[in-house]
Amino acid sequence: MGAQSPASLLLVSMGLVLLCITSAGVANAQKTWCVAKPSASNQVLLLNLNYACSQVSCAVIQKGGPCYYPDNLVSRAAVAMNLYYAANGRHPWNCYFNNSALVVRSDPSYGSCTYY
Protein backbone atom coordinates (compact mmCIF):
# COMPACT_ATOMS: atom_id res chain seq x y z
CA MET A 1 0.00 0.00 0.00
CA GLY A 2 1.27 3.45 -0.86
CA ALA A 3 1.85 6.18 1.68
CA GLN A 4 -1.02 8.58 2.26
CA SER A 5 -0.42 12.29 1.92
CA PRO A 6 -0.59 14.30 5.16
CA ALA A 7 -3.51 16.31 3.75
CA SER A 8 -5.64 13.22 3.06
CA LEU A 9 -4.86 11.78 6.50
CA LEU A 10 -5.88 15.08 8.07
CA LEU A 11 -9.16 15.11 6.13
CA VAL A 12 -9.98 11.53 7.13
CA SER A 13 -9.12 12.28 10.77
CA MET A 14 -11.27 15.41 10.80
CA GLY A 15 -14.14 13.50 9.22
CA LEU A 16 -13.95 10.81 11.90
CA VAL A 17 -13.89 13.41 14.67
CA LEU A 18 -16.90 15.18 13.16
CA LEU A 19 -18.75 11.87 12.84
CA CYS A 20 -18.06 11.04 16.49
CA ILE A 21 -19.23 14.45 17.68
CA THR A 22 -22.47 14.41 15.71
CA SER A 23 -23.20 10.78 16.58
CA ALA A 24 -22.71 11.48 20.28
CA GLY A 25 -25.17 14.35 20.06
CA VAL A 26 -27.81 12.12 18.51
CA ALA A 27 -27.16 9.28 20.94
CA ASN A 28 -27.43 11.58 23.95
CA ALA A 29 -30.49 13.46 22.69
CA GLN A 30 -33.36 12.86 25.06
CA LYS A 31 -36.70 14.63 25.24
CA THR A 32 -37.19 16.93 28.19
CA TRP A 33 -40.13 18.73 29.75
CA CYS A 34 -40.52 21.78 31.95
CA VAL A 35 -42.56 21.51 35.13
CA ALA A 36 -43.24 23.68 38.17
CA LYS A 37 -41.04 23.18 41.21
CA PRO A 38 -43.02 21.78 44.15
CA SER A 39 -41.69 24.67 46.26
CA ALA A 40 -43.00 27.40 43.92
CA SER A 41 -45.45 29.79 45.55
CA ASN A 42 -48.97 30.28 44.19
CA GLN A 43 -48.11 33.91 43.42
CA VAL A 44 -45.16 32.90 41.24
CA LEU A 45 -47.13 30.09 39.58
CA LEU A 46 -49.90 32.52 38.68
CA LEU A 47 -47.35 34.90 37.15
CA ASN A 48 -45.83 31.98 35.20
CA LEU A 49 -49.25 30.84 34.00
CA ASN A 50 -50.21 34.32 32.83
CA TYR A 51 -46.88 34.91 31.10
CA ALA A 52 -46.76 31.53 29.35
CA CYS A 53 -50.36 31.82 28.17
CA SER A 54 -49.68 35.32 26.81
CA GLN A 55 -46.99 33.76 24.58
CA VAL A 56 -48.54 30.41 23.54
CA SER A 57 -52.02 28.93 23.23
CA CYS A 58 -53.16 27.43 26.52
CA ALA A 59 -56.40 25.98 25.15
CA VAL A 60 -55.53 22.54 26.57
CA ILE A 61 -55.94 23.84 30.14
CA GLN A 62 -59.24 25.60 29.48
CA LYS A 63 -62.54 24.00 30.54
CA GLY A 64 -63.17 21.04 28.26
CA GLY A 65 -59.49 20.75 27.33
CA PRO A 66 -57.53 17.53 27.91
CA CYS A 67 -55.42 19.13 30.67
CA TYR A 68 -58.22 20.95 32.52
CA TYR A 69 -58.16 18.39 35.33
CA PRO A 70 -56.82 18.34 37.92
CA ASP A 71 -58.29 21.79 38.41
CA ASN A 72 -55.46 23.38 40.39
CA LEU A 73 -52.85 26.06 39.90
CA VAL A 74 -49.79 23.79 40.06
CA SER A 75 -51.06 21.51 37.29
CA ARG A 76 -52.21 24.32 35.04
CA ALA A 77 -49.02 26.32 35.50
CA ALA A 78 -46.88 23.24 34.79
CA VAL A 79 -48.72 22.55 31.53
CA ALA A 80 -48.49 26.21 30.46
CA MET A 81 -44.80 26.43 31.37
CA ASN A 82 -44.07 23.30 29.35
CA LEU A 83 -46.01 24.64 26.36
CA TYR A 84 -43.84 27.76 26.46
CA TYR A 85 -40.66 25.71 26.91
CA ALA A 86 -41.51 23.42 23.97
CA ALA A 87 -42.54 26.30 21.69
CA ASN A 88 -39.24 28.06 22.33
CA GLY A 89 -36.86 25.22 21.55
CA ARG A 90 -36.63 23.33 24.87
CA HIS A 91 -33.63 25.36 26.00
CA PRO A 92 -32.90 25.33 29.74
CA TRP A 93 -33.24 29.12 29.85
CA ASN A 94 -36.84 28.76 28.59
CA CYS A 95 -37.67 26.80 31.74
CA TYR A 96 -36.23 29.16 34.30
CA PHE A 97 -39.36 31.13 35.28
CA ASN A 98 -37.52 32.97 38.06
CA ASN A 99 -36.13 29.70 39.39
CA SER A 100 -39.61 28.21 39.90
CA ALA A 101 -39.37 25.44 37.30
CA LEU A 102 -37.43 22.25 36.61
CA VAL A 103 -36.37 20.48 33.43
CA VAL A 104 -37.25 16.79 33.76
CA ARG A 105 -36.51 13.74 31.64
CA SER A 106 -39.54 11.65 32.57
CA ASP A 107 -42.75 12.41 30.70
CA PRO A 108 -45.21 14.15 33.05
CA SER A 109 -48.20 13.38 30.79
CA TYR A 110 -51.23 11.87 32.51
CA GLY A 111 -54.58 10.53 31.34
CA SER A 112 -55.57 12.45 28.21
CA CYS A 113 -53.18 15.32 29.01
CA THR A 114 -50.11 15.01 26.82
CA TYR A 115 -47.09 17.17 27.56
CA TYR A 116 -45.39 17.99 24.24
Domain ranges of the chain: 1-30, 33-104
Q: Are the beta carbons of 102 and 34 closer than 8 angstroms?
A: yes
Q: Are the beta carbons of 80 and 52 closer than 8 angstroms?
A: yes
C-alpha dihedral, 21 to 26 to 31 to 36, nearest 10°: 0
pLDDT by 10s per residue, the chain, length 116: 556 666 555 454 444 444 443 333 444 579 999 999 999 999 999 999 999 999 999 999 999 999 999 999 999 999 999 999 999 999 999 999 999 999 999 999 999 999 99
Can you tell me the distance from the alpha carbon of 60 to that of 75, in angstroms, rounded to the nearest whole number?
12
Q: Are the beta carbons of 34 and 59 closer than 8 angstroms?
A: no
Give the three-state DSSP class for 33. strand
**β-bridge mates for residue 113, sequence order:** 110
Give 61-71 pLDDT, tens digit per residue: 999 999 999 99
